Structure 1
């Protein structure tokens, strides 16, 4: 792969998905895009790039972007954010939403669905405490292919062994050969939608809780800041934002602040406090 071809694909990915690749990712790019080239009956990576340069087909561009942005996921990944949801977020919402009895959750860049389904299982386990509540989980990804898989809710033996407690596997999954499908009840709790984080999320509505984990690490600083500000616009002042363990809001936005004693969980900075910060600055 020559540098011009690598740079051309990098520009395309950054424009369409916000993904930023360093030069040491050339092998990853080639390995992920060779199957795309075969799908389009192209001889190899060089022909794929030539096709993109000469007459870019939107369907081909979409396949390229989806191949490069599909990331792995697993149930109850890093466990702590799910414990925090159960022990910190839900008690706060039960207290603060006694009048509304409504909760909306956004799982951004949800990949193959393990994160939103993990949240759905927690909520199902707490059904007694949440009786009478209207709860929505909206899960989004820019890949239509990965969303189709998430909606189906079918996972391999390897996938259900990664982080999923056996008790929940037995309770919420049905086995068929070496595959496991999550129950219709849990699948119905998640509303999957195709969405690109580079665009305006107001079409999705407002959210009390947002999971945007292990996504910002792929963006440049300016894109990270824009994504965080757009998310803040959707949230009430008592909302909760979850980021990945290697992610932070520091130096990006003053609209979120770390919850004391909680790693990776952020609260919305009230508008009055934002105004004081702006005035002091």
Structure 2
């Protein structure tokens, strides 16, 4: 692949998915896109670039983006966020939502579905404590292919062996040949929707808990800031944001602050009463605000 073609694909992928590729990643582009060229009977990657430049190539463009998207996921990945979910987030929010008895959870970049299904299984295991509390779990991803797999809830032997306790495999899955399908009871607890995090998601509404793990690491700094800023707008002041182990809000946004002693867990930053009062007074008495400003 010549440099100009790689540069085009790099800019195209950043614009469409936020994915940032260094010069050293040319081998990755080639390995993931060669199968696309074969499926479309294109002679080379150069021919693929020419094809996606043409008007009316939307479907091919989406296929290229999906081919380059990393879809690594497994049940109860990293374990700690699920411990936080069960031991901290749920108890606190169930107490705070005692009157309405409803809670919304969003798993962004949910890939093939293991994360939201893991949360659903946790809730099912806690049904004695949860009682009649209502939960809505939404899983979103940019890729149609992984969403189709997530909706089916069918996984290989290798996939169910990665992080899934054997007790839960026996309780919530049925074996179908060499595959395992999660029960309809668990599948019905999760809704699915295609979503590109670079685009507006304000229409999704407000969420009490947002899992956005292991996706920001593929974005540049400005894109990270933008996504975090927009996520903050979708959360109540007592909500929780869960990021991946290698991700942080520090240095990116003042909208969130870490939850002490809970790695990867963040809450919307709480304004001090004094600061909030000053702002209210400033809006009511603008001249006084101007006089007292440093």
Which residue is equivalent to 1:246? Answer: 246
C-alpha deviation, 1:131, in angstroms:
1.4
Mapped partners of 2:274, 2:40: distance in 1 = 51
Which residue is equivalent to 2:118? Answer: 118
Mapped partners of 2:141, 2:274: distance in 1 = 31
Mapped partners of 2:254, 2:96: distance in 1 = 24
Mapped partners of 1:154, 1:72: distance in 2 = 16
Alignment partner of 1:175: what SS? strand
Which residue is equivalent to 1:18? Answer: 18
- The superposition leaves residues 140-176 of structure 1 with CA deviations (integer Å, 9 ceiling, x where unpaired) of 0011111011000000000000000000000000001
C-alpha deviation, 1:44, in angstroms:
2.3
C-alpha deviation, 1:52, in angstroms:
2.1
The TM-score with structure 2 as length reference comes to: 0.91
C-alpha deviation, 1:228, in angstroms:
0.4
Query: Do the aligned partners of 1:104 and 1:208 also contact (CA within 8 Å) in 2?
Result: yes
1:166 aligns with 2:166: yes
Mapped partners of 1:220, 1:273: distance in 2 = 34
1:99 aligns with 2:82: no
- The superposition leaves residues 62-102 of structure 1 with CA deviations (integer Å, 9 ceiling, x where unpaired) of 00001111421000001111111001111111211111111
C-alpha deviation, 1:188, in angstroms:
0.5
Which structure 1 residue ranges, 4+ long, deviate > 6 Å from structure 2? 278-281
State the structure with more CA Rg: 2
Which residue is equivalent to 1:34? Answer: 34
Which residue is equivalent to 1:202? Answer: 202
Which residue is equivalent to 1:50? Answer: 50
Structure 2: gaps (5+ residues): 280-292
1:80 aligns with 2:80: yes
Structure 1: gaps (5+ residues): none
Which residue is equivalent to 2:235? Answer: 235
C-alpha deviation, 1:177, in angstroms:
1.3
Which residue is equivalent to 2:283? Answer: none
Mapped partners of 2:61, 2:219: distance in 1 = 19
Which residue is equivalent to 1:176? Answer: 176
The TM-score with structure 1 as length reference comes to: 0.96
C-alpha deviation, 1:233, in angstroms:
0.2
C-alpha deviation, 1:270, in angstroms:
2.6
Q: What is the total number of aligned residue pairs between the two structures? A: 280
Mapped partners of 2:113, 2:226: distance in 1 = 25
- The superposition leaves residues 101-143 of structure 1 with CA deviations (integer Å, 9 ceiling, x where unpaired) of 1110000000000000000000011112111111000000011
C-alpha deviation, 1:275, in angstroms:
5.5
The root-mean-square deviation of aligned C-alpha atoms, in Å, is 1.8
C-alpha deviation, 1:2, in angstroms:
1.5
